[in-house]
Amino acid sequence: MDVTTTKLFRTGGSVALRIPAGWLDPEAPVTLVRDERTGRVYLNQSGPLDTQDFFDFMQGQEYRPDAAFDELSLRSDVPRTSSLDHGL
């Protein structure tokens, strides 16, 4: 994985980003994704982001139990009560 630091600059009413030559195909479209929760911006040039592709892939996979995950999900202590438990 290549990592570099670069700067943003203003051009017209937009903000632009300098990307090193050879990193992207200047003729291919770019998809930008902004995570509203974290504010992170992701740039992708491998095609549009389609989450349905992931779910289609997962549907074709055989279920494999994960004992370590199952162990993490077991609780040995009694859960604390909440006012919601009593309908208050």
Kindly report, residue by residue over 49-66, the tens digit of the pLDDT: 677 777 887 788 788 888
Whether this prediction's pTM lies above 0.85 is answered by no
- What is the token pair recorded at 64? 């494999």
Q: Is residue 49 part of a domain?
A: yes
Into how many domains does the chain fold?
1
d(CA 31, CA 41): 10
Q: Is residue 44 part of a domain?
A: yes
Q: Is residue 33 part of a domain?
A: yes
Mean of pLDDT values over 24-49:
83
Q: Is residue 22 part of a domain?
A: no
Q: Is residue 14 part of a domain?
A: no
d(CA 71, CA 88): 33
pLDDT band at 10 (very low <50, low <70, confident <90, very high): very high
Domain that holds residue 43: 28-61
Q: Is residue 19 part of a domain?
A: no
Q: Is residue 84 part of a domain?
A: no
- Name the average pLDDT for the chain: 81
